[in-house]
A and B are shown apart, each in its own frame.
Chain A
Amino acid sequence: MTTTSKVRGLDFANLSLLDALDLAVLVEEEAMERYGELAEQLEQHNTDEAARFFRFMEKNEAKHRAALLEQRTARFPDEPRVVRREMLFDIEAPEYDEARVFMSVRDALDTAMRAETKARAFFEGALDELEDPDVRALFVELRDEEIEHQELVQKQIDKLGDAPTADPEDYADGPVGH
């Protein structure tokens, strides 16, 4: 499975700048919405601290999406969008099974770190297939932003240090089926 097989119906070797920008916007949109969904799941189950962190990530992804969308609109104001959300899966979005009842902030930070690492790997892997120099430049920029995000999350992890966090096992029912 290649990195770009996470996207259906796009030929990365011939990817246009327009499609690349649309893809980048949708990658951020998917991550933004997923963080929102995970926050919603945790809010529903009173896991407020981790939910707040996911809301923070949701806002970050929203900012990034807005910046990319502005770039796209400035360069291609009238071009219709061909790339659709249905074509991509979990590129930067944390996966659904990452959420847990009573997960700690540290767990949430680890989830975000895995998502950023995955996104960086996607943009890095795609560089091997891209041929258009403008599209390559965009993907280098996107990869570098993911590196910055990784650093941001790492800082938060460092700030948390060894501060004790609640052990979810103290609250949750243990698995019974095995």
Chain B
Amino acid sequence: MTTVELTFKDYKSKLKPIWCPGCGDFGVVASIYRALAAIGRPPHEVAFISGIGCSSRIPGYTTAYGFNTVHGRALPIAQGIKLANPELLVLVAGGDGDGFSIGGGHVPHAIRRNPDLTYIVMDNQIYGLTKGQLSPTSACGSKTPTSSYGSLEQPVNPLLYVLSYGAGFVAQATPANMKDMTAVIEEAIRYPGFSFVNVQSPCVTYGGDHQQVKAHKKWMKGLESLEHDPADRMAAMELASHYGEELHTGVLYRNPDPPRTYGELVRERQEALAGGLPRERILESFIQR
């Protein structure tokens, strides 16, 4: 692992984003560049894994390794990459549809394994790439091309979802406050274990006025100003239950005593089974039996 003096420009690729002008994802990717620069891991030690959707284009816009995978499958692939190369800093990015609809079944399993990954969801409460259909986090009553008379479903609550399954680090941010978003993403990356950041990233084309950055500026509430204790999981769950009604920003929960990661446990098991053999000769321990 290398720690060197880097700037955010070191992470910016030459590929020009094709997001709609004003898209919240511009702010998110800028915050990610800055957080990585603050951490100081060079791009060749970082891998970006994503699914499908507007926000899943992020790997192409960074100089790090990247894999724009298939819809909803970013987390299993990221876990495999992290296990195969534990030294890589692995970031997973995607939208609310990718993470909580088609990929929703992978989230709890990633959390219970606790791999050292950071999962950043750009939650715009809509399927933007396919022209504004109802997504799993769309509010009840949302009128979209797939819910002309208003949605009859309650939205998935991403914060409560990941807290319920035991995620060790859970935070929320918005591009309306770039400084805090960068700090939160940096903290999530530094957390040893599965960390989750839900970014309320507005869709400028299909989102409603109340979902835009200007509206966020009026209704966001920093958790520090509420004197929330991020070590208190039950308090975090109470705050998370207001998803959609309040825009809480900052760290909701940080496990003060992080458990060992899946990678550490796997390595320990490998060493125990290999009987002292180096990793590249581990197969011999099975052949001898």
A: residues with CB less than 8 A from B are 6, 8, 37-38, 40-42, 44-45, 47, 84-86, 89-90, 95-101, 103, 172-173, 175-178
Contact = CB atoms under 8 A, between A and B. Distances in A.
A9 to B, nearest CB: 11
B64 interface: no
A45 B16 CA distance: 11
Contact of A97 (B7, B27, B144): B27
Contact of B18 (A44, A89, A98, A177): A44
Nearest to B205: A173
A85 B8 CA distance: 8
Given A41-B21, A97-B175, A176-B144, 4 more contacts: A97-B213, A175-B208, A177-B125, A177-B143
20 contacts: A37-B26, A38-B21, A44-B17, A84-B7, A85-B7, A86-B7, A86-B38, A95-B213, A96-B30, A96-B213, A100-B21, A101-B205, A173-B131, A173-B205, A175-B205, A176-B143, A177-B126, A177-B206, A177-B208, A178-B208
A173 to B, nearest CB: 6
A13 to B, nearest CB: 20
Given A90-B178, A177-B132, A177-B144, A99 B37 contact: no
B121 interface: no
Interface of B: 7-8, 16-24, 26-27, 30, 34, 37-38, 125-126, 131-132, 138, 142-145, 175, 178-179, 182, 202-214
B131 to A, nearest CB: 8
A178 B204 contact: no
Nearest to A85: B7
A55 to B, nearest CB: 14
Contacts of A172: 205
A128 B26 CA distance: 33
Contacts of A96: 22-24, 26-27, 30, 175, 213
Contacts of B24: 96-97
**Interface secondary structure of B, over-half rule:** loop
A39 B213 CA distance: 20
Nearest to A47: B21
Nearest to B31: A89
B143 A40 contact: no
A103 B21 contact: yes
A178 B143 contact: yes
Contacts of B16: 40, 44
Nearest to A177: B126
Contacts of A85: 7-8
In the A-B complex, list the 8 residue pairs whose CB atoms are closest, starting with the nearest.
A99-B21, A178-B208, A97-B213, A41-B21, A176-B132, A99-B22, A96-B26, A89-B179
B145 A97 contact: no
Contacts of A101: 20-22, 205
B231 to A, nearest CB: 24
A70 B27 CA distance: 31
B22 A100 contact: yes
B21 A45 contact: yes
Contact of B20 (A45, A90, A98): A45
A173 B205 CA distance: 7
B145 A176 contact: yes
Contact of B34 (A38, A47, A86): A86
